[in-house]
Amino acid sequence: MASKLRIFALLYYLAVAVFGLLIAAWLSSIHRTPLPREEIDALAQVAAVKAWSKGTVQLSADGTLEAEAQRFASALSQALGGEIVVTVAPASAGEPACTNKDSSPESCAEALEASADVALVRHKFELMWVAADSTALVLGTGRRAYLRWQRGKPTLEELASSTAKLLQDSWFRKVSLDGGASLFEITPAYVFSFLLVGDCGARVSWSFFDVVLLPYLSRLLEKLKVLFDIEVNSQVVMCGSLGNSLEPKDQDSQSVVDTSMLQADFMRRTGEWPPDALTRDARWLPPLVRLVAFKPSTPVVLADDKGEAQYSFAVQGFGAVAIAHCDTGANASGEVTDCEAQRVASGWISSLRSWLSLPANESVTGAGIGDGVSLLAARPRMDGISDWELQMLARAVHGHFVQRTAETLRSLVELVDSLPDVVVREEIGAMAFKAAAKAQASTDAAAAGDVQLALAEAREALILALTAIHDDSVVSQLYFSWEFKYAVYLPISMPILVPLSASVGRHLRSMLLACLRRVKR
Amino acid sequence: MARALGLLLGLILRASSDAGERNNWAVLVETSRYWYNYRHAANTLSFYHTVKRLGIPDSQIILMMAEDVPCNSRNAKPGTVFNERNHKLNLYGTEVEVDYRGDEVSVENFLRLLTGRHPPSTPRNKRLLSDASSNIFIFITGHSGEEFIKFQDWEELTSNDIADAFKQMQQQRRYKQIFWVSDTCQAATLQNQFYSPNILAFGSSGKKENSYSHHIDPELGVAVIDRFTFHALDKLERLLPSSPETVRSFTSWFNPVLLKAHPELRADLFQRDPAATLLTEFLASTGRPRFQGGLLPAASAQGAAIDLAKRNASLPSPAVERVLSSQWEASVLHFQSQVDDLWAQLKAKMLLAVEGGFQGTKEVDRGQLLLWLSVFSFVGLGAAAL
- The full DSSP string for A192-206 is EEEEEEEBSSS--B-
B136: distance to nearest CA of chain A, Å?
A: 13
Within-domain flag for A203: yes
Structure confidence by residue, pLDDT tens digits, A186-212: 999 999 999 999 988 889 999 999 999
Task: With CA atoms as reference, report the closest residue to B214 among B3, B43, B31.
Answer: B43
**Which among A378, A412, A440 is the end of a domain?**
A378
Residue A35 lies in a domain: no
Mean pLDDT confidence for A86-94: 82
Q: Give the one of A116, A263, A481 whose C-beta lies nearest to B241's C-beta.
A: A263
- Report if residue A8 sits inside a domain: yes
Which pLDDT score, from 0 to 100, does residue B176 have? 94
Q: pLDDT tens, B151-160? A: 998 899 999 9
Q: Which residue has the higher pLDDT, A192 or A68?
A: A192
- Helical ranges in A211-301 per DSSP H: 218-227, 259-261, 267-270
pLDDT tens digits for B4-45? Answer: 444 444 444 444 444 457 889 999 999 999 999 999 999 999
φ and ψ of A356, to 5 deg: -90, 20
Among A413, A399, A417, A395, residue whose Cα is nearest residue A461:
A399
Residue A399 within any structural domain of the chain: no
Half-sphere exposure of A307 (CA within 13 A, CB side): 0
Q: Average pLDDT in the B123-147 region?
A: 94
> Distance from A67 to chain B by nearest Cα, in Å?
39
Q: Is residue A144 located within the same domain as residue A208?
A: no
End-to-end CA distance of chain B: 82
φ, ψ (nearest 5 deg) of residue A46: -65, -40
Asked whether B93 and B236 are in contact (CB, 8 A), the reply is no
- Among A56, A84, A109, A39, smallest CA distance to A364 is for A109
* Residues in chain B closer than 8 A to A215 (CB atoms): 300-302, 305
Predicted pLDDT at A456: 94
pLDDT of residue B19: 46
Residue A396 lies in a domain: no
User: Which residue from B minimizes the CA distance to A355?
Assistant: B290
Give yes or no: residues A84 and A165 share one domain: yes
Cα separation, A259 vs A306, in Å, equals: 9
CA–CA distance from A317 to each of A288, A290, B162 (Å)?
8, 9, 26
Whether residue B126 lies within 8 A of chain A, CB to CB, comes out as: no
Identity of the residue in A281, A316, A476 whose CB atom sits nearest the CB atom of B286? A316
Contacts of B288 in chain A (CB under 8 A): 259, 262-263, 315-316
pLDDT at B6: 44
Assess contact for B128 and B25: CB atoms under 8 A: yes
Is residue A395 in some structural domain? no
B241 to chain A, any CB pair closer than 8 A? The answer is yes
Number of structural domains, chain A? 3
Chain-centroid distance of CA A152 in Å reads 46
CA distances from B383 to B298, B342, B343, B345, B386 (A): 40, 12, 11, 16, 5
Q: Quick one: closest CA in A to B114, which residue?
A: A470
Q: Which of A232-246, A382-396, B244-258 has the lowest mean pLDDT?
A: A232-246
Residues A136 and A212 in one domain: no
- Of all residues in chain A, the percent with pLDDT exceeding 70 is 88
* pTM for the whole structure: 0.80
Distance, in Å, from the CA atom of B374 to the CA atom of A452, rounded to the nearest integer, reads: 50
Contacts of A214 in chain B (CB under 8 A): 305, 308-309
Average pLDDT, integer, range A72-94: 84
d(CA A116, CA A369): 26
Question: Of A268-282, A393-407, A502-516, which gets the smallest average pLDDT?
Answer: A268-282
CA distance A29 to A372: 73
User: Most B CBs within 10 Å: which of A479, A480, A484, A485, as the mutation test of the B interface?
Assistant: A479
- How many Cα atoms are found within 13 Å in the side-chain-facing hemisphere of B349? 15
- DSSP three-state, residue B187: helix
Is residue B225 within 8 Å of residue B251, measured between CB atoms? no
Interface probe with A: pick from B290, B312, B324, most Cβ of A within 10 Å: B290
Residues A109-167: tens digit of each pLDDT: 888 887 655 545 556 788 888 888 888 888 888 888 899 888 877 888 888 888 888 88
Band of residue B203 on the pLDDT scale cut at 50, 70, 90:
very high
Mean pLDDT value of segment B295-316:
58
Nearest to A385 by CA among A85, A21, A110, A142: A142
The highest-confidence range among A144-158, B224-238, B360-374, by mean pLDDT, is B224-238
- Closest Cα to residue A353, out of A325, A392, A324? A392
A209 and A288 together in one domain = yes
Q: Identify the residue among B62, B323, B326, B327 best suited for mutation to test binding to A, counting A beta carbons within 10 A and taking the highest.
A: B323
One domain, residues A306 and A344: yes
In the beta sheet, which residues pair with residue A147? A129, A137
Q: Is residue A438 part of a domain?
A: no
Distance of CA A359 to the CA centre of its chain: 18
Please choose, from the candidates B343, B360, B319, B296, the residue with its C-alpha nearest in 3D space to the C-alpha of residue A312: B296
Query: Given B40, B185, B214, B231, which residue is catalytic?
Result: B185
Cβ contact A361–B294 (<8 Å): yes
Q: Are residues A60 and A111 in the same domain?
A: yes
**Least confident stretch, A382-391, A453-462, B250-259, B273-282:** A382-391
pLDDT band at A294 (very low <50, low <70, confident <90, very high): very high
In SS3 terms, A423-464 reads as CECHHHHHHHHHHHHHHHHHHHHHHHCCHHHHHHHHHHHHHH
Same domain, A159 and A219: no
Residue B271 to residue A176: CA distance in whole angstroms: 25
Please name the residue of chain B whose CA is at the shortest distance from the CA of residue A474. B117
Can you name the residues that pair with B201 across neighbouring β-strands?
B180, B266
Among candidate residues A317, A344, A378, the one where a domain is terminated: A378
Asked whether residue A338 is domain-assigned, the answer is yes
CB contact under 8 A, B59 and A225: no
The three-point CA angle A245-A246-A249 to 5° equals 85
Q: Are residues A322 and A245 in the same domain?
A: yes
pLDDT score at A252: 57
Say if the Cβ atoms of B301 and A479 lie within 8 Å.
Answer: no
Asked if B305's CB is within 8 angstroms of A214's CB, the reply is: yes
Is B143 tagged catalytic? yes
Name the more confident of B201 and A148.
B201
A141 and A267 fall within a common domain: no
Average pLDDT for chain A: 83
Task: Report the distance separating Cα B205 and Cα B146, nearest Å.
Answer: 11
pLDDT at A154: 83
B 181-220: CB under 8 A from A: none
Task: For residues A328 and A337, give the distance between their C-alpha atoms in angstroms, rounded to a whole number.
Answer: 10
3-state SS assignment for residue B70: coil
For residues B346 and B376, is the Cβ–Cβ distance under 8 A? yes
Do A297 and A206 reside in the same domain of the chain? Answer: yes
Q: Residue range A228-241: average pLDDT?
A: 91
Q: Is the pLDDT of residue A369 over 60?
A: no
Q: Are A374 and A407 in contact (CB under 8 A)?
A: no
pLDDT of res. B62: 97
CB spacing of B294 vs A353 below 8 angstroms: no
Return the pLDDT at B326.
45
Q: Do B299 and A318 touch (CB under 8 A)?
A: no
Residues A128, A161 within the same domain: yes
Q: Are strands B100-101 and B134-141 parallel, antiparallel or unpaired?
A: unpaired
Average pLDDT over residues A386-399: 90
**pLDDT in the model for residue A322:** 93
B333 pLDDT exceeds 70? no
Catalytic-residue membership of B71? no
Mean pLDDT is highest, among A91-95, A263-267, A353-357, B365-369, for A353-357
Among A187, A194, A511, A158, CA closest to A369: A158
**Most trustworthy range by pLDDT among A443-452, B214-223, B348-357:** B214-223
Residue ending a domain, among A355, A390, A413, is A355
The predicted pLDDT at position B318 comes to 40
How many Cβ atoms are within 10 Å of A188's Cβ, its own excluded? 25
Quick: pLDDT tens for B52-98.
999 899 999 999 999 999 999 999 999 999 999 999 999 998 789 99
Question: Rounded to whole angstroms, how far apart are CA atoms B46 and B229?
Answer: 8
Which CATH number belongs to the domain containing residue A163 in this structure? Answer: 3.40.1400
pLDDT confidence tier of residue A452, bands split at 50, 70 and 90: confident
What range defines the domain where residue A201 resides?
189-355
pLDDT of residue B349: 57
Name the residue among A227, A220, A221 with its Cα closest to residue A187: A227
- C-alpha angle A276-A349-A354 in degrees, rounded to nearest 5: 100
Task: In whole angstroms, give the CA distance from residue B195 to residue B191.
Answer: 9
Over residues A405-427, mean pLDDT? 83
User: Do A197 and A153 share a domain, yes or no?
Assistant: no
Of A415, A465, A410, whose CA–CA distance to A439 is shortest? A465
Instruction: Tell me which H or E stretch contains A315.
Output: strand A312-315
